[in-house]
Amino acid sequence: MANLNINIGKLQLKNPVMTASGTFGYGPEFSDFFDVSRIGGIFVKGTTLRDRQGNAYPRMAETPSGMLNAVGLQNKGVDYFINHILPTVKDIDTNIIVNVSGSTINDYIETAEKLNSIEKIPAIELNISCPNVKEGGMAFGTSCLSAAQVVKEVRRAYQKELIVKLSPNVTDISEIALAVEAEGADSVSLINTLLGMAIDSEKRKPVLSTITGGLSGPAVKPIALRMVWQVANSVKIPVIGMGGIMNAADAIEFLLAGASAIQIGTANFIDPTVAIKVLDGINEYLDRHGFQSVTEIIGALEV
Amino acid sequence: MLDLIIKKNEVLNDQYSLLILSSSEKLPEMLPGQFAEVRVDNSPTTFLRRPISINYVDYEANELWLLIQIVGDGTKKMCELKAGNTLNLVFPLGNTFTFPENKDAKILLVGGGVGIAPLLFWGSYLKERGYNCNFVLGGRSKENLLQLCEFERFGNVYTTTEDGSHGEKGFVTQHSLLKASNFDYIFTCGPTPMMKAVAAYATQTKAFCEVSLENTMACGFGACLCCVTDTTEGHLCVCTEGPVFNITKLKWQI
């Protein structure tokens, strides 16, 4: 069996398979299906400074090979997370990483500060790419200037591993990646969802209450793979890849494109055990090709 | 998550099928109101699982029944399944109905269209425990009235159709039984306008009332937060906090 250990900056992973924010709850939701401690990390639901009710129903539309969501960061706020949810996940033996979002830079800073002192949380993923909130979110992640600004401010407040989650809804994602790297991001994760839309022709109405939403699932995989490859070739910091990963072959493609680790998102909804299947599949691939360590295939794309 | 085997696909008419599923393993305990997330294979346009109410469980025969209405390609493919095929289910999911406090309680179960599905299982549960049930089942026409013989095993059955082809003509809430009697407990599942009308009737007559919602879902087990309904406690997931809700908890305009 190959060595699956991988480091993302200061973050040590037992393997490169993690689950994406907003698709895995806080972890216990999946413990009936498999031992969640086996995977490399769990990115918990997007967390904000204060309680958010999220958007009105309908928040989801099925699309060809994917889905649109417009949940809008429903969560009970960072204090509730620390006081009530964290105690329920503290025995999960893997990295619990909090996805942090906000409407203002100050929201991000305050939330990050509160999480900085929490021992169980080794990293945060700065969500400057949520397409489903009116203020903040993606607005920060779609210009180099605002992305750099929020990362710079949060970097001062947060000393542990700072992962910045990038939006694909930009002309050149590498520019944004370089901008956040320059301000001290330890790593980047990509892609968040692509802005999309669904219409009910019979009713002549949008399907989602918010009209537009974020597209995920295998429909976005080729775009995600291209962006991961572009970013991995532009920055020096580690890249965490995601976007439509449904199986081990998909995950390996992201590693070959230059991702040091991957996140599984939408696939968790269809097969709640998919993360373990991806992990087993990566193992099998490494053995079959005679690799001693997963690090040998990171960025190993032959062009 | 379990692969179940189709024991029988009973085609009820061109819109509905009753899938009778079994397993080599003993089926887990299921509660009325709970549902299964069904993976649909061989349908290119069906990406997500489909939440389907548990229609009935026969533990002795190790059978789980799912009542399917053809709505889109996913449900069409499910209705085309044949004996011996397998179907992958994540189940049982969701909560259950509340038992009435005493056995003499006057109980009404109101179902419309495919919404009758969980009421059969709930009716069987109530009957087994010595409660007496009245079912008012409605549909557009007699083709939409399903499993009447099954319901008759568990209580008194009354029907309405919009075209008058079976039972009283009109909506379920216009049935004469609702004018003639008062009920202590009302349980309902069906189209939202119907459930709202039933909830209004329950509110007027001061009956305890639970509804089973069928919001669109992605996961079915509380991970995606897509299926929420607005309640007095904020947005709650229909999959984990429901699908059964007391009407006093819902922020419905009734």
Rounded CA-CA distance A147/A164 in Å is: 9
Phi, psi for B20 (deg, rounded to 5) = -100, 115
Only one residue has tokens 């990038």, namely A166
The domains found in chain A, sorted by start residue, are: 6-54+71-195+215-297 (3.20.20.70)
pLDDT at A229 over 90: yes
Instruction: Mark out chain B residues that contact chain A at CB-CB < 8 A.
Output: 1, 39, 44-49, 90, 215-230, 234-235
pLDDT band at A24; cut points 50, 70, 90: very high
Residue type at A84 in one-letter notation? H
% of chain B residues with pLDDT over 90: 98
Please state the rounded mean pLDDT for residues B196-225.
97
Tokens of B122: 């709930």
Look at residue A90 and tell me whether its pLDDT is greater than 80: yes
Query: Cβ(B123)–Cβ(B133) under 8 Å?
Result: yes
Q: What pLDDT digit, counting tens, does each position of B18-75 carry?
A: 999 999 999 999 999 999 999 999 999 999 999 999 999 999 999 999 999 999 999 9
Query: Which of B216, B223, B230 is facing A269, going by the closest CB pair?
Result: B223
Contacts of B224 in chain A (CB under 8 A): 22-23, 60, 69, 71, 269
Going by C-alpha positions, the residue among A279, A30, A291 that lies closest to residue B222 is A30
- Across the interface, which of A25, A67, A217 has its CB nearest the CB of B222? A25
Query: What percentage of residues in chain B have a pLDDT greater than 70?
Result: 100
Q: Name the CA radius of gyration of chain A, rounded.
A: 18
The domains of chain B, with CATH numbers, are 2-93 (2.40.30.10), 107-212 (3.40.50.80)
pLDDT score, position A250: 98
Give residue B252's pLDDT.
87
Q: Which residues of A are catalytic?
A: 130
**Both structure tokens of B95:** 């909560």
Q: What confidence score (pLDDT) does residue A130 get?
A: 82
Which pLDDT does position B192 carry in this prediction?
Answer: 95
Task: Please say whether the beta carbons of B228 and A54 come within 8 A.
Answer: yes
Give burial (CB, 10 Å; 0-12/13-18/19+) of A118: middle
Q: How far is CA A243 from the centre of its chain?
A: 9
Q: Which helix (H) or strand (E) holds B26?
A: none
Q: Which residues have CB under 8 Å from A211's CB, separation 6+? A: A197
pLDDT tens for A109-132 read: 999 999 999 999 999 999 998 877
Q: In this complex, do A29 and B223 lie within 8 Å of one another by their Cβ atoms? A: yes
Q: Determine phi and psi for B190, rounding to 5 degrees.
A: 165, -160
ipTM exceeding 0.85, yes/no? yes
pLDDT in tens, B126-177: 999 999 999 999 999 999 999 999 999 999 999 999 999 999 999 999 999 9
Provide the pLDDT for residue A171: 96
User: Could you check whether the bond before residue A58 is cis, i.e. omega within 30 degrees of 0?
Assistant: yes
B44 neighbourhood in chain A, CB within 8 Å: 64
In one letter, which amino acid is B117?
A
Listing DSSP states for B71-135 in one string gives -SHHHHHHHT--TT-EEEEEEEES--PPPPSSTT--EEEEEEGGGGHHHHHHHHHHHHTT--EEE
Q: Which of A85, A246, A269, A271 has the most B C-beta neighbours within 10 Å, making it the best mutation to test the interface with B?
A: A269
pLDDT at position A131 is 79
pTM: 0.96
The Cα A227–Cα B21 span in angstroms is: 44
Tokens of A218: 């295998």
CB neighbour list of residue B164: distance below 8 Å, 6 or more residues apart: none
Q: What is the overall mean pLDDT for chain B?
A: 96
Q: Which residue has the tokens 């393993």?
A: B25
Cis (ω within 30 of 0) for the bond into A131? no
Q: B105: how many CB neighbours lie within 10 A of its CB?
A: 17
- The per-residue pLDDT for range A154-166, each reduced to its tens digit, is 999 999 999 999 9
Pairing relationship of beta strands A123-127 and A95-100 according to DSSP bridges: parallel
From the list A45, A54, A69, the residue facing B235 with the nearest CB is A54
pLDDT at A137 over 90: no
Confidence of residue A70 (pLDDT cuts 50, 70, 90): very high
DSSP A243: S
**Whole-number Å distance between alpha carbons of B225 and B53:** 19
CA dihedral A265, A270, A274, A277 (to 10 degrees): -140
pLDDT class of A1 with cuts at 50, 70, 90: confident
pLDDT recorded at residue B254:
67
Measured CA to CA, the distance from residue B140 to residue B144 in angstroms comes to 6
At A134 the pLDDT is 73
Query: Is a pLDDT exceeding 90 seen at residue B105?
Result: yes
- Bridge partners (DSSP) listed for residue A213: A196
Distance from CA of A44 to the nearest CA of B (A): 10
- The contacts of residue B2 (CB under 8 Å, 6+ apart) are B23, B25, B88, B89, B91
Q: What integer pLDDT is reported at residue B152 of this predicted model?
A: 98
pLDDT at A139: 83
Q: Three-state SS for A81? A: helix
Q: Which residues of A touch B230 (CB under 8 A)?
A: 56-57
